[in-house]
């Protein structure tokens, strides 16, 4: 029971940290892509959209090569550590958050941006109000980013090594138990993973729907 608790806690820790980092990267970068008008913007958007479907095993391979002892970052000795898993999961989640953020802001009425600037809002204030206006789809982007990493296995296995007590997370533990023929344990861990994912997304959905209801109640009646 203690081992299962530690595995679950590590899974939540690395996935939450990776999601937060991807949000810190994806929110401003997605905003820049949505509001900016610069050369190469369409090309960058195409790269981001491709990254949203990037296979985790490819990410794991690249990160493993970079962090391997003979690799460019091998001196940091991060391979087979939770930090390596966080790096890989951040690379997986960041394009998802960035792409959905850009799509959410592009869907807003362009006149809203012009009205804010016309009322004297600074660039930073305008971005803040745009984020508030698009907070429901931005919350959906957060859920998508978290969902893409909490259930990920390929990259976590490749860069973490599935080391007991150090880098073993729920998904890699499920694979291990399945390979041993312990299908009961694998099903129990799978159920735990599904329940955790559901509860977290239920909480985020509740916040999302509450905000939507507040918007509807505050909307002017005709």
Q: How much of the chain exceeds pLDDT 90, in percent?
A: 56
Q: What is the CATH number of domain 2-218?
A: 1.10.3720.10
| Interaxial angle between packed helices 2-35 and 170-179, expressed in degrees from 0 to 180 and rounded to the nearest 10 | 130
pLDDT at residue 1 above 80?
A: no
Buried (b) or exposed (e) across 105-121, using 16+ Cβ within 10 A?
A: beeeeeeebeebeeeee
Residue 72 phi, psi (nearest 5): -60, -35
pLDDT at residue 221 above 70?
A: no
Split at pLDDT 50, 70, 90, the class of 207 is: confident
Which element (helix H / strand E) includes 63? helix 56-67
32: tokens are: 């820049």
Q: Which long-range contacts (CB under 8 A, 24 or more apart) does 67-76 make?
A: 67/159
- Could you tell me which residue, 205 or 177, shows the higher pLDDT? 177
User: What average pLDDT does the segment 162-175 reach?
Assistant: 92
Longest dimension (CA), the chain: 68
pLDDT in tens, 113-161: 888 878 888 888 888 989 988 888 898 899 899 988 998 888 999 999 9
DSSP string spanning 171-218? HHHHHHHHHTT-HHHHHHHHHHHHHHHHHHHHHHHHHHHHHHHHHHHH
- Tell me how far apart the alpha carbons of residues 44 and 95 are, in angstroms, rounded to a whole number: 11
Provide the residue ranges of all domains of the chain, joining segments of one domain with +: 2-218
Exposure of 45 in the CB half-sphere (CA atoms within 13 A): 18
pLDDT at residue 169 above 70?
A: yes
User: What average pLDDT does the segment 40-48 reach?
Assistant: 92
């Amino acid at each position: 029971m203690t081992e299962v608790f530690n595995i679950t806690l590590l899974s939540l820790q690395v996935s939450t940290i990776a999601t937060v980092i991807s949000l810190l990267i994806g929110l401003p970068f997605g905003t820049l892509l949505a509001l900016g008008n610069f050369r190469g913007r369409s090309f960058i958007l195409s790269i981001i959209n491709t990254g949203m479907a990037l296979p985790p095993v490819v990410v794991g391979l690249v990160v493993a090569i970079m962090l391997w002892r003979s690799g460019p970052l091998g001196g940091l000795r991060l391979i087979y550590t939770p930090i390596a898993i966080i790096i890989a999961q951040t690379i997986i989640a960041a394009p998802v958050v960035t792409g959905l953020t850009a799509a959410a802001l592009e869907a807003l009425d362009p006149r809203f941006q012009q009205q804010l600037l016309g009322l004297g809002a600074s660039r930073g204030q305008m971005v803040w109000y745009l984020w508030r206006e698009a907070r429901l789809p931005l919350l959906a982007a957060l859920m998508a980013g978290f969902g893409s990493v909490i259930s990920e296995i390929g990259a976590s296995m490749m860069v973490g090594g599935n080391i007991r007590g150090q880098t073993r997370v729920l998904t890699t533990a499920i694979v291990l138990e399945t390979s041993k023929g312990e299908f009961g344990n694998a099903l129990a861990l799978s159920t735990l993973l599904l329940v955790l994912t559901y509860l977290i997304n239920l909480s985020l959905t509740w916040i999302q729907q509450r905000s939507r209801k507040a918007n509807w109640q505050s909307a002017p009646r005709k």
